[in-house]
Amino acid sequence: MADKIDFFIHGDDMQAVSITLEPGETVRAEPGAMMWMEGGIEMATSTGGGMMSGLKRAFGGESFFITSFTNEGSNPATVGFAAEFPGKIIPVDLSLGQVLCQRSAYLCSAHGIEVSVAFTKRFGAGMFGGEGFILQKLSGDGLAFIHAGGHVIERELQRGETLRVDTGCIVGFEASVDYDIRMIKGVKTMLFGGEGLFYAELSGPGKCWIQTAPLSRLANRIMSAAGGSKGQHNRGGGFLGNILQGD
């Protein structure tokens, strides 16, 4: 049974989560996620499971360290966390099973939750999936909180049901969901569609979470606007479409 955490999610489109810790209770978070902590809470940084655990996270592009927040006082106290860009925070009960999520999605969790790396099952998914070979794997018996850009759509896939998703829009999925990469059909669609060459295929059973505003899209739009002339920027059109629309 999952450890109970007293939490509250603040806001709508730029969310934060506050967690109330009883005396002696601990919560873990990614370094830099903390917004505030009340008196009595002490912060400590560690590898979260030894040198190898830290190295695995670093290999996956994540922080080598994880920060722990423990209530050393005699009364309940709260600590608040938020991600580095606007979006939603999703509480996930890991007692129901492991969850795989995109890199940088993990925000914070109950003490004892293991944050490690997982490799995609297929070479093609790693080569062309947009998010690389490596995903974050969250496991344990408690709550974890993951962050997504924009709005979040949760889908419960039945056994045999499939969903094709832009790779950057995947926040995470339960370990029971099968993940693969497919090539978009049709030469014109591939070149002019503006959706890239590949999409992800998720197959049930299990839950998946989809984000409407991935950080990668926001970064690309900002870079495009900053590098464009006279304030013009592109709405898509694929690789050749970008060339043809240029001045």
SS (H, E, C) the chain: CCCCCEEEEECCCECEEEEEECCCCEEEECCCCEEEECCCEEEEEECCCCHHHHHHHHHCCCCCCEEEEEECCCCCEEEEEECCCCEEEEEEEHHHCCEEECCCCEEEEECCCEEEEEECCCHHHHHHCCCCCEEEEEECCCEEEEEEECCEEEEEECECCEEEECHHHEEEEECCCEEEEEECCCHHHHHHCCCCCEEEEEEECEEEEEECCCHHHHHHHHHHHHHCCCCCCCCCCHHHHHHHHCC
pLDDT digits (tens, 9 = 90+) for 119-170: 665 545 444 444 545 788 899 999 999 999 999 999 999 999 999 998 889 9
Instruction: For each of the domains in the chain, give its residue range(s) and CATH number, in order of start.
Output: 6-223 (3.60.160.10)
pLDDT digits (tens, 9 = 90+) for 162-210: 999 988 899 999 999 998 877 766 544 444 444 456 788 899 999 999 9
| 239 has pLDDT over 60 | no
| 31 has pLDDT over 70 | yes
Stated pTM of the model? 0.78
